[in-house]
Amino acid sequence: MISAFVFSARSKIRPLIEKPPTMTPEEAKAQLDNQVREIINWHFSPETGCQFWLEWAKKNFDPRGVVNSYEDIIAKFDHFQDEWLRDLQPEVWVPKAFEGKPFNIFETGGTTGMPKQRVGWNDFRVDYEEFSHKLKDEHFPKGQSWIMVGPTGPRRLRLAVEHLANYRGSACYFVDLDPRFVKKVISNKQFDVARQYMDHVVDQAVLLLKNRKISAIFTTPKLLEALAEKVDLYSAGIRGCFVGGTTMTPQYVRFIVEEVLEGKIGFYPTYGNTLMGLAASVPLEPSDNFSITYYAPQPRAVLRIVDPKATNNTVDYDAWGRVELTTLTKEFFMPRFLERDEAMRRKPRAPYAWDGVADVRPFGAMEKTIVEGVY
């Protein structure tokens, strides 16, 4: 289950060996439906459920015994509202089974006003341990140090990346980035301030790369590009990188792998957030033309590409639509959340037996100007 690719020569893709599918689409569906039943019973049972969903059931309906499949979630639940995570106190999301256990509060979004907040205990460890098995040791040598250049602070990403490094026997250096500040100054057209701040972040990372033995990096595509302008990443010891955070068009992907990484460094694009976890990419093939496809960590989370005007319906394969996320863990149940992203729907591809999402970009990106910053 390898989600990286390397380039032996410019424009010549050399996929890494990938394991065959571990299950059929029918088996994947059965696994997902079983997860749905388990999570519904957990979050709506008075003995284990959280305050929010128990009160929701009193006002709407008790889904236990009624919602038995993922299709039932689509048919019987409306879209999860992000203001529930902004306006309500985090304690309403604590499952009764977890009462008394200290929890983390993770944030996502929030350029202005209150950010969305999610409570958590162990999900990030599970998500990133699963991802670890998709990393090749030649790109992420066990026991050798990593560096993360990206948002830490209230985001679960910082703990997740550090846990991933530790899980592989490695330590991790950190250079922080405040994406809210970057988006704010760009929105205010203070481009010189944004550039100075980006240089400040990059200079800290370059200093570490020049003075410490570091073999792997997590960062955003734009920061990776900026780093490569100031230091030869391969000569500095970097053998693998995984990236996420901002849009990567096929043209930009080609630029990253051919010009920035020069075909020498393992490249692992990911798509994820605090609410979902981590969707890994499949290795590029020549027919992909540098278009990256990601697959959700089913059955813990499900991604669906829906018609923006009729969100009960999925779009056809290779068509654009809005990203809809359903999260199904004992820590957090979130049905049918409409992400602020759009993507192309892609067919299942080994080793994944469910739909993928490709060329993810901000929703409405072709119709209006979107401020992304560097993350």
**Which residue ranges form the domains of the chain, and what is each CATH number?**
1-295 (3.40.50.12780)
Residue reference for tokens 């460094």: 265
CA pair distance 323, 340, nearest whole angstrom? 7
Contact 79, 311 (CB under 8 A): yes
pLDDT of residue 283: 86
User: Which residue numbers in the chain have pLDDT < 70?
Assistant: 1-21, 109-112, 365-375
Tokens of 137: 């040791």
CA pair distance 21, 218, nearest whole angstrom? 27
Tokens of 355: 């739909």
Tokens of 312: 């009960």
Considering the entire predicted model, what is its pTM?
A: 0.89
pLDDT of residue 247: 84
Residues in the chain: 375
End-to-end distance of the chain based on CA atoms, in angstroms? 27
Q: Sign of torsion, CA 261 266 271 277?
A: negative
pLDDT of residue 179: 85
